[in-house]
Structure 1
Amino acid sequence: MSWFSKDTEQVLNELQVKQKQGLTNAEVQSRLEKYGENKLKGKPKKSLAALFFSQLRDMLIYVLLGAAVITLLIGEYTDSIIILLVVILNAIIGVFQEFKAEKAIEALQKMTTPRALVRRNGDVIEIDSKEIVPGDIVVLDAGRYIPADLRLIESVNLQIEESALTGESVPSEKNAALVFEDPKTPLGDLANMAFMSTLVTYGRAEGVVVGTGMSTEIGKIAKGLDETQTDMTPLQKRLAELGKTLGYIAIGICILIFVIALIQRRDLFEMFLTAISLAVAAIPEGLPAIVAIVLALGVTRMSRINAIVKRLPAVETLGSVNIICSDKTGTLTQNKMTVLHLYTYRKFLDVPSEGTATAEEGAEKKLIQTMVLCTDATLINGEGTGDPTEIALLELGEKYHLPKRELESGFERVAEKPFDSDRKLMSTLNKEGSHYRVHTKGAFDNIFNVSSHALVDGKKVPLTDELKANFLRAAEEMSDQALRVLGAAYKDTDEIINPEEMEKDLTMLGLVGMIDPPRLEVKDAIHQAKQAGITPIMITGDHQHTAAAIAMQLGMATSLAQTVSGSELDAMADEELNEKIGNYRVFSRVSPEHKVKIVKAFQSHGNIVSMTGDGVNDAPSLKNADIGVAMGITGTDVSKGASDMILTDDNFTTIVSAIREGRNIYNNIKKSVVFLLSCNLGEIVAILASVLFFWPMPLLPTQILWINLITDTFPAIALGVDPGDKDVMSKKPRDPKESFFAGGAAMRAVIGGSLIGILTLVAFYFGLNEHGYQLWSGSIPEDVLTYAETMAFVVLAVSQLFYSLSMRSAFHTIFQVGLFSNKYLIGAILLGIILQFAVISIPFLAAAFHVQMLSLQDWIIVILFALIPLAVNELIKLGMRMKNK
């Protein structure tokens, strides 16, 4: 339907909606049932069957399937069934892991759905954009994505960047009053329409929804579009490469075993199966899946502490962050602005904290009127929407019996110049009887720059240096009390003037001082960050004194010397800023362009920088930072789109909690990997030693496959969701270039793996020795060999299970971290032991795996052997702690 060819009244009538009222809840419900949710359809999801078969696309799985076919052909039916069961079980575990990871990512995508402002039942409310229906009245302002196709019904200086649809990078100017008769008017020329997924870059507007979901222009283009990113993280890539390297090593070992077997004239088929099982043992094929699930579960856990991680690599980077650049308002403070003082020439006025008051005629009343009329926020029954600073000004108006609704009905807004972070000013033009008045509010020093007069005792007088100094003294007095100071000015005109002419030759009215108290919990978070080797930095548009006062209260700065203003930054060359950047803790009066400069200066010293932002202009600094953090409450859709992480509570403490979580997730992945490699090394040591020294095989291929599946996977996943080190925030940030095996991890893997392998051989020797045979004895009876293999089998499996307990911390003993503090790991160990016992004690399983029941004395021996790698690792930790002391 050509909505662009109808005027606004026709469109509203056809969609059966009133602009000032919006839709009712009942109308929304019936339209939602008729049109469905406002979202684009993605690619069909992979079925469980497709996920299952994708797990089988692996070189080693092909080798195992080949082995299963050969065993079947030569009549070893039990072996072939076990090999097939192992392959199927491995695939099922892989499907489960992928499914869990996918679900976690889906849940996060739901949480990052863009929000939209709509008018319903006469009130402006914020909702998920998918809940929008045709006929909804949508309120637009700078920084918001258009949530659906709209016919504009009101617009003020509106500009929309439509490159997502037209490819045109220059924002298009919009005008709701226009009507286009030609039905073939190109999309890019439709100035009275706004389209889904395009971006408001300037001005404000209201529009009525004419198309949702796949009925939008972008929906027509995006049939089958799926924006899900499935890129591997740098860590996953590194581990995939590690897997490849281990694969080549495994193939080399297999060839070596074959060559030795030929020389020693062993049973070639048995050695073929051994070589295959060893290749499978050598390669931790579960690694990428385990890393994916640990990352996804970690990210889900982070969402519960109000940090939504949009990109998985961010989790790895979080552990390395050593500079947090944070906005002040709402992040370090409560975002509950309250006006405490008014100042007109030589007159300070305290605003009552409760109740109401009456404003005197003259400068005082005009000051409040200007502050209230020059806002875009709304305040209805004590509930505000919009910028917290503007809501505080509306509350001031209510206290002095000058509510916005009443003022606007008498002084209608006819034009405006929206707030701009470079000008730090906002102006409106309101009709007052037969003439018009410009109301301007903003940073007080910028108000001085556009004022030529001041109101003194009800008279307009030139703004002299003496008058200016008087206002400045009052502003600094308020700034020193950590108050945010705004100035107000006005001018009268006989006609509607161009927005460019509004902020010239104004008359200074006065100042308001407001406070946004620091969040109570932030001081502790800053102390914690400093202990963790992280430097917190405050970045704010506030005056230098206000910023410094808050920073000193919070423990971020120690003196005014650690602060620098935006104008001082402009005066510095990049080289000078890079040199001095380490001296500063507070950046005041900065614009978004300065933020990029600050990020790059910190990065020039090799720092890993996290930067917060909420505005459209913050996108470049969020992109440039190592971790861009957007505000979930006050943030624009653009800042959320450019960020790596979104804070749903806009709280600095959440950034510190996310860093703690990021460090723990990385450490948990490291634990899982080192554990898997230790287990695999143990299996290689046992088999390779037996082949080299011409001993009987201590383990059968099916036994190795069983151990690989049971003892590796479950404890590895449990280690991946470990509660983490309590003192993780007392350590310095991790160097991003640091090897995965730094900090003695490689040595621990070698010691643990070697011990597991040697003890497996010792258990095998004990089993033979009990029956009067040695490793080098010839023609050992089948039942004796089976008994010795059973002992080796149990030691290899159970030692790996016990050893996982020791992997929880590289420095603390299992009692220091809490033996039962990871219930998943205890569950995985108990499950492994029960399954191991079942294999030995249930007759048909025992026959399938060529094992037999052990005597009580031998159970005690194998359990003691299995505990040795754990005990040795714990003793090494104690030795290291004593050495460090």
Structure 2
Amino acid sequence: MLEEAYSCTVDDVLKHYNTNTETGLTKKQIESALKEYGYNGLFFLKIGILLELPPEENKPLWKLVLAWFEDSEDATTAFVEPVVIMLILIVNAIVGVWQTELTLVGVVGRGAPPRCEVASSIQACKKAGIRVIVITGDNKATAEAICRRIGLFEDKEDTCGKSFTGREFDDLSLDKKKDAVRNGKLFARVEPAHKSLIVQFLQQDGEVSAMTGDGVNDAPALKKAEIGIAMGSGTAVAKSASDMVLADDNFSTIVAAVEEGRAIYDNMKQFIRYLISSNIGEVVCIFLTAALGMPEALIPVQLLWVNLVTDGLPATALGFNPPDVDIMTKPPRKSKEPLISGWLFLRYMLIGIYVGCATVGAAAWWFMVYEGGPKVNYYQLTHHLQCQLEPSMFKGVNCSVFASPKPMTMALSVLVLIEMFNALNSLSENQSLLVMPPWHNMWLIAAICFSMALHFAILYINVLAALVFRILFIRRSYDSICIGFYSDDCQNIFQIAALNIAEWFAVLKISIPVLLLDETQKAIVRSTQRGHSPLYHIAIPMVMWCVYSAFLGFNPL
């Protein structure tokens, strides 16, 4: 909407700038005018208010009409054809009241408001440790005013050493240029060579640079940067030189892409973490049983079942993990940082070692502790192959018990359940399950439920079928029906048997610590990253351990 109309003659303009038609404006006067109008980002020449001029004062031919208008809360550039035409019509109508022979030279509304979402995107970049550098061909003062509006500079921040023109940059020594690139936020009145040089200095400092541009002169820098981003409305040259094209020309889209990229990288790490820790556990299990001389806890077909069927679904579902709640508050990783650091590998090893020990421990629990088991001692368990050779050392022990499917079923069930819990651990690298609960990834919950359903199927479905068969044909009494696959009628290639409630509670008690162990490790990492004391962050894991200790004393029977 037109707010005010102003008019001036040629003499008025010359008088305002203290010059004449012969000398013109000096370089100093031009720079002074640019500086005056640049700081607020709006060029505005007030010489005479047209609506207040009496008709008798309008005898000279008016050469220029300036109009200032507002769109919402920001000044809007008037160089849009429909808007300009509308303004010309309005000004002609106003001017026509006093002067019908007026020659309209132009209508100017000057302003360049940034998009409303840019300021919030700049703040998101700051939190994420991403440096935003403005490189423009515009006037330095105007660019600084815009940078203050978008939050790149604070309102009263001193821009000395942070804002440079192309000429100022050229006058610096090589070391000072590198310092300027390290600390600078704004480079104005630059040439294409400056843009490429800035990218080069960033790369020499080990930074990963992403360059945006839309013009032909941006092409060299777009090509040189690690990630060249051309605007969708840009030139064909800029698009061909870039790695990607920003279809909506929106800076916030780049920030969203950074978040998505970080989430994909984290999910890849969690996928690897899940498989490595699980496989380490299986290796530890096989090695431990062989080293101790115990009966096999897992046979090859069981390991194949776990690796090819049970683990596959949760591992795939980890690809659908949502971004961490603090993903855009972490600093960028170094370009040479390994996918798995030493500390991360140590965490994988600790979880894997517990998985292996728990799997072997479940079988040992059934042999040595469980009331329904043989309750052999450690020597008898680790020297079971001598049962037939040294009967004196195995008094009261039936040697066939060492070939029972129950301990293998306990070991397999613990392995499967622990790996389901380990999949929950892999929802986030460092966030607690209380902050990112399992239902943030419903695909993972579905995968875990399906994997457990498959495990229950190989344990119980054939048993139920055998039970129905015997009831229908009354071939034997109910008491003689087998409860596992190891008997003549229910034998199965998995060599497992159905577990009762007490055995399942034992499986649960042995499996839960993998959650608590990882929660403790995550708490330690968070305390290191945020600078708080470890006790502050491990308070929740400590409470979890206390609750688990109370659960250990619970007996369902």
Normalising by structure 1, we get a TM-score of 0.44
Match of 1:851 in 2: 496
Contact kept, 8 Å, 2:213 with 2:230, in 1: the verdict is: yes
The 2-side partners of 1:484 and 1:544 are apart by 14
Q: Which amino acid aligns with 1:622?
A: L
Other structure's SS at 1:813 match = coil
Write out per-residue CA displacement over residues 721-751 of structure 1, whole angstroms, 9 at most, x where no aligned residue.
2112111222221112222222721111101
Q: Does 1:464 align with 2:24?
A: yes
Cα deviation code 1:278-327 (max 9, x no counterpart):
xxxxxxxxxxxxxxxxxxxxxxxxxxxxxxxxxxxxxxxxxxxxxxxxxx
TM-fit CA distance, 1:682: 0.5
SS in 1 for 2:132: strand
What aligned pairs does 1:807-822 form with structure 2 within 5 A after superposition? 807-822=426-441
Offset at residue 686 of structure 1 (A)? 0.7
> Are 1:703 and 2:326 matched, yes or no?
no
* Residue matched to 1:865: 510
The CA distance in 2 between the partners of 1:748 and 1:700, in whole Å, is 27
Give the Cα separation in 2 of the matches to 1:884 and 1:736: 33
What do residues 153-177 of structure 1 show as CA deviations (whole Å, max 9, x unaligned)? xxxxxxxxxxxxxxxxxxxxxxxxx
Task: Go from structure 1 to structure 2 and tell me whether the alpha carbon gap of 1:363 and 1:650 turns closer, same or farther (over 3 Å shift).
Answer: farther
The alpha-carbon distance between structure 1 residues 837 and 512, as it changes in their structure 2 partners (threshold 3 A), is same
Shift of 1:782: 7.2
SS at match of 1:817: coil
Determine whether 1:532 maps to 2:128. yes
Match of 1:731 among 327, 330, 335: 330
Distance 1:511 1:479, change over 3 A: farther
Q: Which has the higher helix share?
A: 2
Per-residue Cα deviation, 1:542-584 (whole angstroms, up to 9, x for no partner): 1111001111222213334221112223334544311332232
AA aligned opposite 1:883: P
* Cα separation, 1, equivalents of 2:426 and 2:11: 71
Report deviation, 1:873. 1.6
Q: 1:718 to 1:869 in 2, by over 3 A?
A: same
2:164 counterpart SS class = strand
* Unpaired segments ≥5 residues, structure 1: 1-352, 368-453, 486-508
Q: CA deviation at 1:765?
A: 1.6
Query: Conserved in 1, the CA contact under 8 Å of 2:295 and 2:402?
Result: no
Query: Helix, strand or coil: the match of 1:515?
Result: coil
| Matched length | 420
Quickly say closer, same or farther: Cα 1:476–1:776, change in 2 above 3 A. same
SS in 2 for 1:587: strand
Q: Secondary structure at the match of 1:820?
A: helix
Q: For 1:803, which of 422, 430, 438 is the aligned residue?
A: 422
Say if 2:388 is the partner of 1:771.
Answer: no
Residue 140 of structure 2: aligned partner? 544
- 1:578 aligned partner, one-letter code: K
Asked whether the equivalents of residues 118 and 252 of structure 2 are also in contact (C-alpha less than 8 Å), the reply is: yes
1:675 aligned to which of 274, 283, 286: 274
Query: Which of 387, 398, 404 is residue 785 of structure 1 equivalent to?
Result: 404
The structural deviation recorded for 1:791 is 1.1
> 1:19-69: CA deviations, max 9, x gaps?
xxxxxxxxxxxxxxxxxxxxxxxxxxxxxxxxxxxxxxxxxxxxxxxxxxx
d(CA) in 1 for partners of 2:43, 2:454: 66
Is residue 587 from structure 1 mapped to residue 147 from structure 2 by the alignment?
no
1:802-823: CA deviations, max 9, x gaps? 1111122333221122232111
Distance in 2, matches of 1:359 and 1:790, equals 94
Structure 2 CA distance for partners of 1:776 and 1:619, relative to 1, 3 Å: farther
Counterparts in 2 of 1:762 and 1:363: CA distance versus 1, 3 Å? farther
**1:688-742 residue CA offsets vs partner (Å, 9 max, x unmatched):** 2222333222112111011012333222222222112111222221112222222
CA RMSD of aligned residues (A): 3.3
Aligned to 1:603: 203
Query: Counterpart amino acid of 1:736?
Result: S
2:313 maps to: 714
The whole-number CA distance in structure 2 between the counterparts of 1:553 and 1:471 is 25
Per the alignment, do residues 533 and 358 of structure 1 end up closer, same or farther by CA in structure 2, a change over 3 Å counting?
closer
Q: Indicate the SS of the match to 1:517.
A: coil
* Equivalence for 1:478: 37
Question: Matched residue of 1:810: which SS?
Answer: coil
- Secondary structure, counterpart of 2:434 in structure 1: helix
Change (3 A) 1:656 1:837: same
TM-score relative to the length of structure 2 = 0.68
Contact 1:548 1:559 in 2 (8 A): no
Aligned residue type for 1:802: F
- 1:661 is aligned to 260
Q: Distance in 2 between matches of 1:750 and 1:662?
A: 27
Q: Which moved more, 1:775-784 or 1:474-483?
A: 775-784
Deviation at 1:529, TM superposition (A): 1.5
- Alpha carbons of structure 1 residues 876 and 546: separation in structure 2 relative to 1, 3 Å: same
Q: Whole-Å Cα distance in 2 between the matches of residues 803 and 820 of structure 1?
A: 15
Higher mean C-alpha deviation, range 637-646 or range 611-620: 637-646
Instruction: Looking at secondary structure, tell me which structure has more strand per residue.
Output: 1
Change (3 A) 1:583 1:530: same
AA in 2 matched with 1:551: C
**Per-residue CA distance 1:77-97 (angstroms, 9 max, x = gap):** xxxxxxxxxxxxxxxxxxxxx
Instruction: Name the structure 1 match of 2:82.
Output: none
Give the direction of change, closer, same or farther, for the CA distance of 1:696–1:362 in structure 2 (3 Å limit): same
Q: Structure 1 pair 810/355, CA: closer, same or farther in 2 (3 Å)?
A: closer
Query: Aligned equivalents of 1:642 and 1:816: distance in 2?
Result: 43
| Percent identity over paired residues | 35
Letter in 1 for 2:515: L
Does the CA-based 8 Å contact 2:34-2:139 persist in structure 1? no
Residue 691 of structure 1 corresponds to which residue in structure 2?
Answer: 290
Alignment-derived partner of residue 522 in structure 2: 877
Deviation by residue 1:220-269 (Cα, 9 ceiling, x = unmatched) = xxxxxxxxxxxxxxxxxxxxxxxxxxxxxxxxxxxxxxxxxxxxxxxxxx
| Aligned residues of 1:484 and 1:543 also touching (Cα < 8 A) | no
Q: Deviations over 1:168-225 (max 9, x none)?
A: xxxxxxxxxxxxxxxxxxxxxxxxxxxxxxxxxxxxxxxxxxxxxxxxxxxxxxxxxx
- Contact kept? 1:663, 1:728, Cα under 8 Å: yes
Change (3 A) 1:722 1:676: same
| Superposition pairs of residues 200-211 of structure 1, within 5 angstroms | none
Mapped to 1, the partners of 2:113 and 2:437 lie a distance apart of 39
- Aligned counterpart, 1:841: 460
Residue 521 of structure 1 deviates from its aligned partner by 2.0
Distance 1:479 1:355, change over 3 A: closer
Measure, in 2, the Cα distance between the counterparts of 1:861 and 1:456: 92
Give 2:222's aligned residue. 622
Determine the C-alpha separation between the residues in 2 that align with 1:875 and 1:510. Answer: 70
* Rounded Cα–Cα distance in structure 2 between residues aligned with 1:560 and 1:718: 49
